[in-house]
Amino acid sequence: MERTKAQRLARLAAQVDWSKVIDPYTGERLGPELLTGLWAADRLTAGRTCEILHYTANGDGSSVGIPAAEILPILVGAARDPDVTVRFDILRTITDIADTGNTAPTAKVAPILEGRWRPTVDPAWPPAWERAADGLLPLLDDDDSLLRIAAVDALAQSAAHADSLIPRFLTLFVNEPDLWLAERLVRGVGELARHATQRREEALAWLRLRLTAVETGAEPDLDEDPDAWFAWFEEIHHDVRLPAAEALRRALAQRPE
């Protein structure tokens, strides 16, 4: 088992150009020991390593640095591995980097910084994220609802896959019993609609329908027909009007409506 794990980590380490994995502020070069930390059985060690990777790739959260594209395969591999104790944190890290990658190019700079600095995205990041995003798809069906939520949030930032992900999110919503995750799917559709071309209008129409649809159905009388009431109770019926409104506002940010 340990030998298999070592081989897996060695393969991941070989995909990285470690000369580019440098602390954005101190210039310290980081190395393959990060994988050992990320896969550590000790959750505290793994969590600290995840924080280091987050900081190295995303800095203060305003830019995507050169290390991001290099460490992305590590992050995706760790997120998919049940042996990793901080998979949720890793997915949050991926989401934060991807969100910055989508927003930094058009981000507004504080007046005091205009002409001196602006957020940047390393050119290697968008194609790296486009290639890696598919690796997170299996997590949409994970047994752990928190991991499913984190995977939805991460994939909602996959602009290149927006048109293929929208129908997947809509299907997942229909069968999702967890209200929190259903709300994340709604918000995810709003994020994806910002970047979609073929599926944009479909996504917007679906979100508008969620504004008025409270999918509870008529509640049977428990005393008169207990079987019907329990059948109704077991149905999935989410009221997602508020997240749908937020998702529409996000999707139509450039279009007053």
User: What's the chain's average pLDDT?
Assistant: 89
The 10s digit of each residue's pLDDT in 108-122 is: 766 666 666 678 899
- pTM score, whole prediction: 0.86
Asked whether the beta carbons of 168 and 158 are under 8 A apart, the reply is no
Do 147 and 176 belong together in one domain?
no
The 10s digit of each residue's pLDDT in 170-194 is: 999 988 888 899 999 999 999 999 9
Give the least confident one: 37-41, 81-85, 146-150, 217-221.
217-221
Do 99 and 118 belong together in one domain?
yes
What is the tally of structural domains in the chain?
2
Final residue before a domain boundary, out of 115, 138, 157? 157
Do 51 and 173 belong together in one domain?
no
Could you tell me the pLDDT band of residue 231, with boundaries at 50, 70 and 90? low
Do 126 and 167 belong together in one domain?
no
Final residue before a domain boundary, out of 98, 122, 157? 157
Asked whether the beta carbons of 15 and 73 are under 8 A apart, the reply is yes
Distances in whole angstroms, Cα of residue 247 to Cα of each of 45, 145, 150, 194:
36, 21, 17, 10
Do 8 and 134 belong together in one domain?
yes
Do 71 and 198 belong together in one domain?
no
Final residue before a domain boundary, out of 142, 157, 172? 157
Domain of 7 in residue numbering reads as 1-157
Do 67 and 174 belong together in one domain?
no
Share of the chain above pLDDT 90, in %: 68
Do 136 and 212 belong together in one domain?
no
Do 141 and 165 belong together in one domain?
no
How many residues in total does the chain contain?
A: 257
Residues contacting 123, CB < 8 A, separation 6+: none
Cα dihedral: 59, 65, 69, 72 (round 10): 0
Do 231 and 191 belong together in one domain?
yes
